[in-house]
Structure 1
Amino acid sequence: MQEKKRKLTIAKAMAEAISLDMRASDDVLVMGEDIGKLGGVFGNTLGLLDEFGPERVRDTPISETGFIGTAVGMAAAGMRPVVELMFVDFFGVCMDAIYSLAAKQSYFSGGNVTCPMVLMTSVGGGYGDAGQHSQTLYATFGHLPGMKVVIPSNAYDAKGMMAAAIADPNPVIFMYHKALQGMGWLGTVQRSITHVPEGHYTVPLDKAEVVRAGGDITLVGLGHTVHVALDAAAALEAKGIDAEVIDLRSIAPLDRETLLASVAKTGAVLSVDDDYHSYGVGAEIIATVAESDKVRLKAPPKRISYPDIPVPFAPEMEHAVLPNSDKVVSAVWAMLEARAHV
């Protein structure tokens, strides 16, 4: 019998994935600020307290250093904690626990002590929350070896990737974008609300997906910018440009094979990233393409990203510098204009 279609938000999909694993194993628990009765500021743990109680769904004091360090210790002892860093911007007060401990634990122990821990954290701006609550910082974490760094663009992937992250023996930084969560007060890209099967399944943490096939240019996004790229691809179609769109899903590891196969076909690539411009995901995408001897480019590769400035508080200033589909269309048109007029 065919499964009935049901659509979930990313927040509900994440909560469902966590609940399934908590039912399957007492080693899985959740910790963080306001994740109990409130269900998390972004809805990732709704309903878990009622089912599993305060022993396994633990509201913590406002001390990221304390509870994330505790999660590392639990993981070393064989548990599988899922811990929430409410905003990725808060990483500064707990980076020692994340990188000096969690990421290096397996390496320093010769593989004898692993760290099966998931750190989920919100990213993204556009809400007038200024520099304290609006960054993405993908590259900050992707640059550091020992951790997997992933971000889903839709609810189906969110559930499957969360299940895969909980099962992984490595620490996984599971980033979720505020604009995709499904929280009414934030507004949500409707395309992120997808069919989600009821049972347990996994989505690989090391495999990008071609979400739109095309032959003229490759647009590369992650999280929210996948939807920016898809909107741009629809607009470009009206101009006679057939764009392929790749959802990276993960930046550590980075699926270079899918990227290179696409660019080898299209001959052009544009990265769309809402992290800071310099030394970022876009630079790594372009370097990967430039270093390959299998790709012949018909236009210089380009990247759209966030400028190297603190996030402004004023909405007019913030929205002016965020990536959007109009910027993508203009960049692609400039890249391919000469060819398009041949």
Structure 2
Amino acid sequence: MNMIEAINSGLETMMERDDNVVIMGEDVGYFGGVFRATAGLQEKFGKTRCFDTPISECGIIGAAVGMCAYGLRPVPEIQFADYIYPGMDQLISEAARLRYRSAGEYTAPMTVRSPVGGGIFGGQTHSQSPEAMFTHVSGLKTVIPSTPYDAKGLLIASIEDNDPVLFLEPKRIYNGPFTGYYDNPVSPWSKFAESEVPEGHYTVPLGKAKIVREGDAVTVLAYGTMVHVAKAVVEEHGIDAEVIDLRTLVPVDIETIEASVRKTGRCLIVHEATRTSGFGAELSALVQERCFYHLEAPIERVTGFDTPYPHSLEWAYFPGPVRIGEALEKIVRDLKS
């Protein structure tokens, strides 16, 4: 399956297992979503369990919070992550705090799905990566998968979780092989955009990272699309790097990160979002706090630039082979001398 198919399968699996799981959002019903992630679900489960909403992100998330209090498990879709800002107050002030402000009487078992990142030339209002804004919010979990297998397993785990989860889906790896690595339509990392995905129910635990490549020279931390880009660059440069896919940003698997950095003594962080106050800054602080006496070189970050998202120059904006390669060579320079 590709990631879209895996997400659709995860939603179908949970709707079959639990009548309280409902899907809502703009165009998710009859049309099946702009990326087809909910295709066929309204036809199979009916209009009361998979239904369209008005163009009101505040209304979508606010209604989902009410559904949670009523006992449902809503899975609202925000059509693009860029559109989530009108609903931030409901997500942050209501959903994330419901368990605490009710002393545990109510929970908010909702999973807010949304496509994130660039890769489709969507411009400034369809390509942003706002994940760091939400990792700052206590009571809200943030998940970003990088493979179809993980996408389905993490989505099911998120829906079954009793707290709100922001489930961000990198649209650049939605539909299988894609372009962008040296402008080669058959990129060396496109194979990761499709994978074997079991039918039926399985979960990938939240808060557990995955080591996608073992190594001893440097630890590379990434998530979403950047996992594949970083791994390809590491192998192209012949560097013995350990590449870790975080999968969940909150809760982050600090134990796996710490063990790797203590082993390698070096750390490179890669993410597509802008640099200032990006999640890489939090990762850098965590690594410095826990691994300072094991570090043999400064922590490096390769990220998007601190500019409004550039429509026509988005492939230059992404962390790519040149910038990641330069950072890797810099951080391991003393090993080669």
Tell me the TM-score range normalised by the shorter chain: over 0.9
Q: Match for 1:104: what amino acid?
A: R
Q: How many Å apart are 1:183 and its aligned residue?
A: 6.9
Specify the SS of the correspondent of 2:58: helix
2:182 aligns to what? Answer: none
Structure-2 change in CA distance of 1:265 and 1:34 (3 Å): same
Q: How many Å apart are 1:127 and its aligned residue?
A: 2.8
Structure 1 residue 321 corresponds to structure 2 residue 317: yes
Match of 1:26 among 19, 22, 27: 19
2:287 aligns to what? Answer: 289
Structure 1 residue 332 corresponds to structure 2 residue 333: no
Specify the SS of the correspondent of 1:114: coil
Q: How many Å apart are 1:130 and its aligned residue?
A: 1.9
Match of 1:60 among 30, 39, 53: 53
Question: For residues 187-336 of structure 1, what are the structure 2 equivalents within 5 Å?
Answer: 189-237=190-238, 241-293=239-291, 295-314=293-312, 317-336=313-332
Structure 1 residue 96 corresponds to structure 2 residue 89: yes
Runs (5+) with no aligned partner, structure 1: 1-7
Specify the SS of the correspondent of 1:161: helix
Q: How many Å apart are 1:313 and its aligned residue?
A: 1.9
Alignment coverage as a number of residue pairs: 329
Q: How many Å apart are 1:71 and its aligned residue?
A: 0.8
Assess if the C-alpha contact under 8 Å between 1:260 and 1:295 holds in 2. Answer: no
Assess if the C-alpha contact under 8 Å between 1:236 and 1:243 holds in 2. Answer: no
Q: How many Å apart are 1:163 and its aligned residue?
A: 0.7
Cα distance in 2 for partners of 1:190, 1:102 equals: 37
Question: For residues 71-220 of structure 1, what are the structure 2 equivalents within 5 Å?
Answer: 71-182=64-175, 189-220=190-221
Cα distance in 2 for partners of 1:270, 1:221 equals: 9
Q: Match for 1:252: what amino acid?
A: V
Assess if the C-alpha contact under 8 Å between 2:119 and 2:171 holds in 1. Answer: no
Cα distance in 2 for partners of 1:276, 1:32 equals: 28
Q: CA RMSD in A?
A: 1.6
Cα distance in 2 for partners of 1:203, 1:220 equals: 19
Cα distance in 2 for partners of 1:295, 1:168 equals: 37
Q: Match for 2:158: what amino acid?
A: A
Cα distance in 1 for partners of 2:79, 2:196 equals: 26
Cα distance in 2 for partners of 1:51, 1:32 equals: 17
Specify the SS of the correspondent of 1:20: helix
Assess if the C-alpha contact under 8 Å between 1:263 and 1:295 holds in 2. Answer: no
Moved more, 317-326 or 172-181: 317-326
Moved more, 332-341 or 140-149: 332-341
Q: Match for 1:77: what amino acid?
A: Y
Cα distance in 2 for partners of 1:227, 1:156 equals: 14
Q: How many Å apart are 1:338 and its aligned residue?
A: 2.5
Structure-2 change in CA distance of 1:75 and 1:39 (3 Å): same
Assess if the C-alpha contact under 8 Å between 2:177 and 2:193 holds in 1. Answer: no
Cα distance in 2 for partners of 1:235, 1:12 equals: 30
1:11 aligns to what? Answer: 4
Cα distance in 2 for partners of 1:90, 1:295 equals: 43
Specify the SS of the correspondent of 1:220: strand
Q: Match for 1:164: what amino acid?
A: A
Q: How many Å apart are 1:293 and its aligned residue?
A: 4.9
Structure-2 change in CA distance of 1:51 and 1:33 (3 Å): same
1:4 aligns to what? Answer: none
TM-score computed with the length of structure 2 as normaliser? 0.94
Cα distance in 2 for partners of 1:199, 1:19 equals: 9
Runs (5+) with no aligned partner, structure 2: 180-184
Cα distance in 1 for partners of 2:94, 2:263 equals: 42
Runs of 4+ in structure 1 deviating by more than 3 angstroms, as ranges, are 183-190
Q: Match for 2:162: what amino acid?
A: P
Match of 2:34 among 34, 41, 45: 41
Specify the SS of the correspondent of 2:79: strand
Q: Match for 1:258: what amino acid?
A: T
Cα distance in 1 for partners of 2:300, 2:177 equals: 34
Cα distance in 2 for partners of 1:246, 1:293 equals: 16
| Aligned-residue identity in percent | 42
Cα deviations by residue, 1:237-274 (Å, 9 ceiling, x for unpaired): 1xxx2011000001111111100101111110000001
TM-score computed with the length of structure 1 as normaliser? 0.93
Cα distance in 1 for partners of 2:307, 2:36 equals: 30
Specify the SS of the correspondent of 1:299: coil
